[in-house]
Amino acid sequence: MLLYVLRRFASAVPTLFVIVTIAFFMLRLAPGGPFDLERPIDPLIIENLKRAFNMDKPLPQQYMLYLWNLLHGDLGPSFTRRDFTVNDLFRFGLPVSVQIGGTAIAIALVFGTVLGSLAALRQNSWVDYSVVGVATFGITIPPFVVAPILSLIFGVYFGWLPAGGWGAPGSMVLPVATLALPQMAIVARLTRGATIEVLRSNHIRTARAYGLPSWVVLYVHTLRASILPVVSYLGPTAAALMTGSVVVETIFGIPGIGRYFVQGALGRDYTLVMGTVVVIAVFVVVFNLIVDILYAYLDPRVRYD
């Protein structure tokens, strides 16, 4: 297993290299640049700016330079937030995003599996219909609708929680709820479907035929199998959530890193966009690996060595 993990990390390096390369050149293909402004400015200033950011060198050389710095963990200076390096921006923003995203994933996992299992056990009862109903609601209502409504109700009308901002006690609740709702809905549906299928399988019939108590049939024999599709779903989702959400961060005014991707792309902040791509790619690689290891642990038929 250790060998497998090492091999997976080794194979992640070329993956990241390809991602970085494609992102780097695609970004440069987009028209415009980081120093284009509404008002024309002195070409000499532009010239100086370009020199300061190594933009005066030929593109291949810039690429090599970027790779070299990346190897040393240096994501470069931000082109548009000129007081900060990209590393600084992530150092402040990433913990916030990870905290919100991680909490949302944990909540979605716990409540989603519980609700999904309940619905499956009481299939076609009112419990099932309510869970499926709530889940459909959670999936269909987009976060940019949920977020302002939550903010309005709990922040403005009742004043129980901060309507936005970061740092005040309770300021995490609404953004986490917004992020968790659709994920919880999806997890509930996945769990429900898988549980219904597992409950019909022959080995569950065996467990019941041998007089095992129903909690053993459920927790020992059903849940372990029905959680498998949830685990594979949660890998890439956790990566996506922990690297921040533009909508949630914008609406609640949270200093995470989700905004950087959009803002960086619009402002042609090359290093900021590249930095975001690298961070997301690393998260995806790591979480997929975690999922694969977890999968092998849960299902002994899966063996990687």
Partner 1 sequence: MADIDNSILAVRKLDVKFHTDDGQVHAVKGIDLDVRAGETVAIVGESGSGKSQTMMAIMGLLASNGRVSGTARYRDTELIGMPERRLNTIRGAKITMIFQEPMTSLDPLYKIGRQMAEPLMYHKGMSAREARPRVMELLKLVGIPDPERRINSYPHELSGGQRQRVMIAMALANDPDILIADEPTTALDVTIQAQILALLAELQQKLGMAIVFITHDLTIVRRFADRIYVMRRGEVVEDGATEELFVDPQHDYTKMLLAAEPTGTKLPPPPSAPVLLQGTDVQVSFKIGGGFLSGPPVLLQAVDRISVALRKGQTIGIVGESGSGKSTLGRALLRLLPSEGRIRFENRDLSKADREEMRPLRKELQLVFQDPFGSLSPRMTVGQVITEGLLVHEPSLSTKERDRRAIEALKEVGLDAASRNRYPHEFSGGQRQRVAIARAMILKPKVVVLDEPTSALDRSVQKQIVELLRKLQADHDLSYLFISHDLTVVRAMADYIIVMKQGKIVEEGQTADIFDNPRHSYTQTLMAAAVDTTKFRLAG
Q: Which residues bind partner 1 (CB under 8 A)?
A: 7, 10-11, 123, 201-203, 205-214, 216, 220-221, 224-225, 298-301
Nearer Cβ to partner 1 (32/300): 300
What is the smallest separation between the CB atom of 87 and partner 1, expressed in angstroms? Answer: 32
What is the smallest separation between the CB atom of 108 and partner 1, expressed in angstroms? Answer: 24
Region of 211 please: left (phi>0), alpha (psi -120 to 50) or beta: left
What is the smallest separation between the CB atom of 210 and partner 1, expressed in angstroms? Answer: 3
What is the smallest separation between the CB atom of 288 and partner 1, expressed in angstroms? Answer: 16
What is the smallest separation between the CB atom of 216 and partner 1, expressed in angstroms? Answer: 7
Count of other CB atoms within 10 angstroms of residue 2: 7
Nearer Cβ to partner 1 (14/169): 14
Cite the beta strand spans of the chain per DSSP E.
none
Nearest to 230 by CA among 305, 173, 295: 295
Residue 115: partners with Cβ closer than 8 Å, 6 or more residues away: 131, 134, 135, 184, 188, 191, 192
Nearer Cβ to partner 1 (37/209): 209
What is the smallest separation between the CB atom of 76 and partner 1, expressed in angstroms? Answer: 32
Token code pair at residue 225: 């199998």
Distance CA 218, CA 113 (A): 12
Distance CA 20, CA 239 (A): 17
Token code pair at residue 199: 């409950």
What is the smallest separation between the CB atom of 192 and partner 1, expressed in angstroms? Answer: 16
Nearest to 70 by CA among 243, 278, 257: 278
Nearer Cβ to partner 1 (144/304): 304
> Are the C-beta atoms of 259 and 267 separated by less than 8 Å?
no
Nearest to 288 by CA among 222, 240, 216: 240
> Are the C-beta atoms of 263 and 269 separated by less than 8 Å?
yes
